[in-house]
Structure 1
Amino acid sequence: MYKTTGGRKPKKKIYHRVHELDRVMELQKKPSLILQLKSIIQSQKTESLLLRDLEKEVGFVQKWNYMAVIEKYPSIFVVTGGKSDKSPPAVMLSEKAKRTAALEAEARVQMEPILVKNLRKLLMLSVDCRVPLDTIEMIGNEMGLPSDFKKSLIPLYPHFFSLKDVSGRWYLDLENWDSSLAVTAREERLAREGLLNTGEHPKRAKISKDGNFSGPYAFPLDFPVGFRANMSYLEEVRRWQKMDFPSPYLNARRVEAADPKARKRAVAVLHELLSLTMEKRLTSAQLDAFHSEYRLPARLLLCLIKHHGIFYITNKGAKSTVILKEAYDGSNLTNKWPLLEFRDKFLELMGRRDVSSCIGASSSVTI
């Protein structure tokens, strides 16, 4: 409840919804089921799954969602046996789906250098250049890592990584620091646009109506429709945008947490972490798992809400998810890695194209 003063009601805090980004989560529901079922089938020795065993793999409740997918997409899944056939009913990939699925191997080969680079950067962001193995496993799918990366990837690069047992908990350690990797995705974008070393004088910098600012320490902002910023707010944003801050790759122990520059650095750390994922998004729980190693803000949710021009929090789907706004054009991810391109190709077997336009723009809800 809010206290009133002088008969005036205080303004309620508004978090503006963006339907296009909420729709990102809605659009991935069926594809997620299809890709998961594909993986389950491929993991079987016979490359087929008895329908009676489906519940063991996905649980009783989810079983019915998978059964609906099997029935709806005969172009991907084929059911054999049952009825007059004496063999129990089983599901397998169609011949066309098998041919398309075979392309994943090449996508994985193309992904390997990306994964190695991003794993190194992930470790370089931490205070001790190491991250608990279970934390990495928690975001493994989002990074594009193979499920067995501990055996199939890490041992191939002993000059980069090592596994160490610290007080009963396994960590992935960085073996060698590479300064050439200590460049953020934000800095790479600014370099491409020729803005990283801009010499624009602060006094000449104009306040943009959308909060964007041309400078080496600026972040791209995208405020939602319905959010109306006054000039004092934009002036505050301009000061924040031009304020320098320590690199996310600088050890957090060397930064005073109460310093405004340190708080801006924390935003940069979150920005970089999301940039290391395939779809530039993580659940709130996944972000919070890095709290200790990355020295993330104690009030992480408030930090994300405050910087709603950079991050978007959607409650669509099973879990609260944080999305990096600049990575999307409407509901579409603008840059896709090889594994995502393969998945798109496989999902074309559904027999329909993803709808690129979104219904509605954005709305607001009270929080």
Structure 2
Amino acid sequence: MMSVDCRVPLEKVEFIQSAMGLPHDFKSNLIPKYPEFFSLKVVNGRVHLVLENWDSSLAMTAREDRKKVRITKDGNFLGPNAFKVSFPPGFRPNASYLEEFEKWQKMEFPSPYLNARRFDSADPKARKRVVAVLHELLSLTMEKRVTCAQLDAFHSEYLLPSRLILCLIKHQGIFYITNKGARGTVFLKEGYDGSSLIEKCPLLLFQERFVALCGRREVSVCNEMQSSSFIS
């Protein structure tokens, strides 16, 4: 629903399959089970997952669905256009920064579920919309995180900025970026309390119970946050 043509190359869906909690046989079982919503079509020589039915009731972002908090020295603000932020340790915004940031928090912007082609990318509201798109994409993952490569793979489908990493760094109060090893990872900060995932989806809870029943010691997927440095 957020992609500009309501379709995504199937290979890219497979690329983030595990992050989205999709079953290994989603192509053969899940997609054909819901023909009123999805289909597979060849477009320009590539197989695409195509949205067949638009459901306006689903065009509600996770950001809009949460409780807002008031403006404080940490940059959070009560309002329909605000994002929850958590600045990195050691970052002490001064009054002028908070004043400008409050203006940004109050600024209205188009929904991530509206077609990006309708907006001028140079418009500040459109740039804020990009942040909302990234926020929503991360909110839809099981662990509120994806690798930088996985996020960048959807550059053309969501008209993301060419220098995506700079956009993420600029909004370090919303996103957390690790550079551990050769694969960077982007976390949605509000999804975590320290290094612990706040809300776990049923599939993730099931996996944890399965690991416990097997008698294996679970290694937290959030260790990256504890052992890596924040790109600032």
Equivalent residue, structure 1, for 2:41: 164
The answer to whether the aligner puts 1:188 opposite 2:65 as a matched pair is yes
Q: Secondary structure at the match of 1:214?
A: coil
The within-5 A match list for 1:215-254 is 215-254=79-118
Residues 141 and 351 of structure 1, relative CA distance in 2, 3 Å threshold: closer
The within-5 A match list for 1:62-211 is 124-190=1-67, 207-211=71-75
Equivalent residue, structure 2, for 1:56: none
Q: Secondary structure at the match of 2:187?
A: strand
Q: Which has the larger radius of gyration?
A: 1
Report the Cα distance in structure 1 between the residues aligned to 2:227 and 2:5, rounded to whole angstroms: 41
Equivalent residue, structure 2, for 1:273: 137
Report the Cα distance in structure 1 between the residues aligned to 2:173 and 2:111, rounded to whole angstroms: 20
Q: Which amino acid aligns with 1:302?
A: L
Q: Which amino acid aligns with 1:250?
A: L
Q: Highest relative contact order (Cα 8 Å, sep 6+), 1 or 2?
A: 1
| Displacement of 1:362 | 10
| Displacement of 1:346 | 2.2
| Displacement of 1:343 | 1.4
Report the Cα distance in structure 2 between the residues aligned to 1:271 and 1:288, rounded to whole angstroms: 14
Cα RMSD after superposing both structures: 2.3
Q: Which amino acid aligns with 2:54?
A: W
Give the one of 167, 176, 179 matched to 1:303: 167
Q: Which amino acid aligns with 2:152?
A: D
Equivalent residue, structure 1, for 2:211: 347
Structure 2: runs of 5+ lacking an equivalent: none
Contact 2:179 2:230 in 1 (8 A): no
CA deviation vs aligned residue, 1:84-123 (integer Å, no higher than 9, x gap): xxxxxxxxxxxxxxxxxxxxxxxxxxxxxxxxxxxxxxxx
Residues 158 and 255 of structure 1, relative CA distance in 2, 3 Å threshold: same
| Displacement of 1:167 | 1.8
| Displacement of 1:347 | 2.4
Report the Cα distance in structure 1 between the residues aligned to 2:6 and 2:165, rounded to whole angstroms: 25
Report the Cα distance in structure 2 between the residues aligned to 1:365 and 1:144, rounded to whole angstroms: 27
Equivalent residue, structure 2, for 1:110: none
TM-score, normalization by structure 2: 0.91
| Displacement of 1:325 | 0.4
Residues 363 and 285 of structure 1, relative CA distance in 2, 3 Å threshold: closer
Equivalent residue, structure 2, for 1:286: 150
Structure 1: runs of 5+ lacking an equivalent: 1-123, 196-205
Q: How many residues align?
A: 228
The answer to which structure has the higher helix fraction is: 1
The answer to whether the aligner puts 1:262 opposite 2:126 as a matched pair is yes
Report the Cα distance in structure 1 between the residues aligned to 2:63 and 2:178, rounded to whole angstroms: 23
Contact 1:256 1:262 in 2 (8 A): yes
TM-score, normalization by structure 1: 0.59
Q: Secondary structure at the match of 1:158?
A: coil
Q: Secondary structure at the match of 1:185?
A: coil
| Displacement of 1:331 | 1.1
